[in-house]
Amino acid sequence: MPRGEELYSGKAKSVFLTEDPARLVLEFRDDTSAFDGQKVDQLDRKGMINNRFNAFIMEHLEAQGVATHFDALLSDNESRVKRLDMIPAECVVRNVATGSLCRRLGVEEGLDLVPPTFEFFLKNDELHDPMINEYHIASFGWASSAEVESMKAQTFRVNEILSKLFADGGMILVDFKLEFGRFDGELLLGDEFTPDGCRLWDADTRKKLDKDRFRQGLGGVVEAYEEVALRLGVDLEATIAG
Ligand code: ADP
Ligand code: UDP
């Protein structure tokens, strides 16, 4: 299925129409950005690694009963997905305190969060993705209360499944962000799950293996993403049927 007109070009991915109105092509580019696009760079191979990594994670989640938008890998940098009506609330689960949680609440970096905590953020770059709560989502009609409950339940379920997957690869899933959307009346996990949208630490050394390497100028960004993929057994060279 060839890709058609570009629908949207985001900070790291481009979205294309296809001949099927219910399907899109996501192109994972080498572009990387942080701090609402203030820090940008091009990282050779990042798009390919993220595309294949995302396919692996989405298929793993599907196999565990989480409904996602993912259809198929189309090429090194492209995947076909179901076209969703995206909900503008980002869902974040945290197992360990770091990042904006520590800046906001002054809690100690590295504190284990038992039980894990959950936050909603409004997807809006101009407003710097402010934190919102369920009352904002209801008052502004961004999602129904059933959708809010489903997003929370699914995000916690993803946390259970992926915390185990990464632990088996010697990593701690520190936190992550998910986006959901509607498809034929059903709520599906959309967007991506890659080291661009989560934090992963080596379980022994606590070495950062995610986008914080880019945010904090630590270097070795693509090398870390590749290491994560290899630890999970993602085949970065598998032939793609298309
Ligand atoms: P951003 O918009 O934050 O710059 P990206 O560069 O990753 O992010 O762009 C991808 C865009 O595609 C995001 O806005 C995301 O919400 C949207 N998107 C992801 N999956 C789907 C889908 N299945 N259907 C429609 N839109 C999607
Ligand atoms: N995150 C993301 N996109 C965003 C904001 C956050 O993917 O627009 C991810 C981020 O990679 C981390 C988690 O969500 O895994 C929590 O991020 P946090 O709120 O700590 O934000 P930051 O410290 O990056 O500003």
Residue-wise pLDDT for 48-89, tens only, equals 999 999 999 999 999 999 999 999 999 999 999 999 999 999
How far away, in angstroms, is 203 Cα from ligand 1 center? 30
- Cα–chain center distance at 15: 15
For residue 95, what are its two tokens?
A: 């197992």
Return the CATH architecture of domain 6-82: 2-Layer Sandwich (3.30)
Looking at the chain, which residues constitute the CATH 3.30.470.20 domain(s)?
85-220
The Cα–Cα gap between 15 and 141 comes to: 25
Protein residue whose Cα sits closest to atom 25 of ligand 2 = 100
Tell me 1's DSSP state: -
For residue 221, what are its two tokens?
A: 């960004």
Looking at the chain, which residues constitute the CATH 3.30.200.20 domain(s)?
6-82
**Homologous superfamily assigned to 85-220:** ATP-grasp fold, B domain (3.30.470.20)
Residue-wise pLDDT for 110-125, tens only, equals 999 999 999 999 999 9
* Other Cβ atoms within 10 Å of 108 Cβ, number: 9
pLDDT at position 159, please?
A: 99
The Cα–Cα gap between 212 and 215 comes to: 5
For residue 219, what are its two tokens?
A: 């270097």
Angle at 108 between CA 103 and CA 113, to 5 degrees: 100
220 CB under 6 A from ligand 2? no
The Cα–Cα gap between 24 and 126 comes to: 25
What residue type is assigned to position 185 of the chain? G
The Cα–Cα gap between 76 and 230 comes to: 16
How far away, in angstroms, is 98 Cα from ligand 2 center? 10
pLDDT at position 2, please?
A: 81
pLDDT by residue for the chain (242 residues), tens only, comes to 689 999 999 999 999 999 999 999 999 999 999 998 999 999 999 999 999 999 999 999 999 999 999 999 999 999 999 999 999 999 999 999 999 999 999 999 999 999 999 999 999 999 999 999 999 999 999 999 999 999 999 999 999 999 999 999 999 999 999 999 999 999 999 999 999 999 999 999 999 999 999 999 999 999 999 999 999 999 999 999 86
**Atom of ligand 2 lying closest to residue 198 CA:** 15
**Atom of ligand 1 lying closest to residue 82 CA:** 23
